[in-house]
Amino acid sequence: MKSCTPVIGLEIHVELNTKSKMFCQCSADYFGKKPNTNTCPVCLALPGALPVPNRKALEWCIKIGKALNCKINLKTKFDRKHYFYPDLPKGYQISQYDEPVAVKGKLGKFGITRVHMEEDTGKLLHSGDDSLVDFNRSGVPLVEIVTEPDFTNSEEVKEFLQQLHTIIRYLEVSDADMEKGSMRMEPNISLRKFKVQSSKFKDELPNYKVEVKNINSFNFVKRAIEFEIKRQTELLEKSETPTQETRGFDEKTMKTVSQRSKEEAHDYRYFPEPDIPPMVFKQSYIDSIELPELPSAKKERFIKKLELKEADAAILTQDVEIAKFFEEVLAKTNASPQSVANLIVNKKLSTESSPDEFAKLAENMAKPKETDLANLGAAIKSVLSANPEAIINFKAGKETVLMFLVGQVMKEMKGQANASLVKEELLKSLK
């Protein structure tokens, strides 16, 4: 099966950090709260309660769509997606089906199918024989991003997800903290039995796919994909078609395990949410939603305008907090951007240090210290007195002598001096 080509598409869920939940006024900040204290009749699905969409959440969903170069639909609506699970109090999730907020985007060379708005579920807690449910998270705004099945290996998936994570954090719509579950990833994997490049069947997808649910680290996504490619290859080699199913990733064994197969696959019975009228946006409203400078543009600017080394620009733009910190320090000092970058990249101070402390340090490092200058002065004096003929030759116009003297002083300083500063000070002494 050397000629197999993996086909991979991704579904990513991002919890928005709006003040309130998606359809009620409960706080969206449920983390660490006493179970079932962050609830109301709407997010508990008590009879008669009516959902009212969160304007900010919709705006932020549009923002994500724009950042992923999507077309924003002017007409969009909510739908009910039915399934039975105890963490879903209504028996359906309010989501979007055929008219999502955003469609047809791109991030790098990978297609974005859609970006839609939905609500998070509650959380199940299992203890011994009991299962408990906490509805604090129920109704928290959730954005789902679906990609085209454009990926062919685990490494490009990981890079894409890291890039997406960085963008979400730049937009400041979510902390996208995977430990807390605010960003969750689901790869769908299948194998084509031929090489893509040489085939006219390029657009034809395998007739099955395996979805690995709810992974919370880039590396686990990578490992899950690699495990699936190996597992499915082995099946195909035995001329078996892998079962279309949903699997989970076991972090202890680094393997995927079957959860439910096609036979039990859900018929979600999608239909338009009757309690929320369809929404129609004006183009002027869509246009008024502005994007911040995105990571790729910021990196370009750091390289072109600030003349940072590419590797440093990459590190400093990888997370919005670091980028902000760097620019804050820069605004407070006259030291060169690269010297400030060096300080931050080499972690010369702890990350808890204030921008002021960094700025001060950057300036002090740019300025030669007085003790350094004194040492340099002494070294120059001793080199000059040991080389009287060099001074005569220099004064006679033989300028190459200067470089010889710089070399001698550097040697005297055991390399612990800045060559251009040595040259400057030597010239002063030779006058």
Binding site for Zn ion (CB under 5 A): 24, 26, 40, 42-43
Is residue 100 within the footprint of ligand ADP (CB under 6 A)?
no
Q: Which stretch binds ligand ADP (CB under 6 A): 3-11, 34-42, 63-71, 373-381?
A: 3-11
In the complex with Zn ion, the residue whose CB is nearer, 43 or 361, is: 43
In angstroms, how far is CA 323 from the centroid of its own chain?
Answer: 13
Q: Which does 390 bind (CB under 5 to 8 A by kind): Zn ion, ligand ADP, none?
A: none
Shortest Å, Cβ 62 to ligand ADP: 21
Cβ count within 10 A of residue 395: 11
Cα R_g (the chain), whole angstroms: 30
CA-to-CA separations, 299 to 307, 319, 351, in angstroms, rounded: 11, 11, 21
CB-nearer residue toward ligand ADP: 100 or 206: 206
E-strand ranges in 216-269 read 245-250, 255-261
| Shortest reach from residue 7's CB to ligand ADP, in Å | 4
Provide long-range contacts, Cβ within 8 A and 24+ apart, for 380-387: 380/409, 380/422, 380/425, 380/426, 380/429, 381/429, 382/412, 383/408, 383/409, 383/412, 384/429, 384/430
Contact partner at residue 11 from ligand ADP, Zn ion, none, CB < 5 to 8 Å by partner kind: ligand ADP
Count of CB atoms situated within 10 Å of the CB of 28 = 23
Q: Which is nearer to ligand ADP, 38 or 147 (CB)?
A: 147
Rounded CA-CA distance 424/161 in Å is: 50
Does the protein bind ligand ADP through residue 7 (CB under 6 A)? Answer: yes
Which range of residues in 8-16, 99-107, 194-202, 335-343 is near ligand ADP by CB under 6 A?
8-16
Q: Which of ligand ADP, Zn ion, none interacts with 40 (beta carbon under 5 to 8 A by kind)?
A: Zn ion
Dihedral pair phi/psi, residue 374, rounded to 5°: -65, -45
**Rounded distance, CA 159 to CA 282, Å?**
35
Q: Which of 29, 87, 148, 319 binds ligand ADP (CB under 6 A)?
A: 148
Nearest distance in Å: CB 259, Zn ion: 29
Tell the smallest beta-carbon distance from residue 256 to ligand ADP (Å).
14
Q: How far is the CB of 177 from ligand ADP (least distance, A)?
A: 23
Which range touches ligand ADP (CB under 6 A), out of 146-154, 284-292, 324-332, 406-414?
146-154
- How many alpha carbons lie under 13 Å from residue 166 in its C-beta half-sphere? 22
8 binds ligand ADP (CB under 6 A): yes
Residue 24: which of ligand ADP, Zn ion, none does it interact with, CB under 5 to 8 A by kind? Zn ion
Smaller CB separation from Zn ion, 26 or 212:
26
Angle, CA 205 vertex, CA 203 and CA 207 arms, to 5°: 155
For ligand ADP, the closer CB: 112 or 329: 112
243 touches ligand ADP by CB under 6 A: no
> Closest separation between CB of residue 6 and ligand ADP, Å?
8
Q: Does residue 221 interact with ligand ADP by CB under 6 A?
A: no
Consecutive H or E run containing 341: helix 337-345
DSSP class of residue 348 equals S
Q: For helices 55-67 and 154-171, give the axis angle rounded to 10 degrees.
A: 130
Sites of contact with ligand ADP (CB under 6 A): 7-11, 146-149, 188-190, 205-206, 209
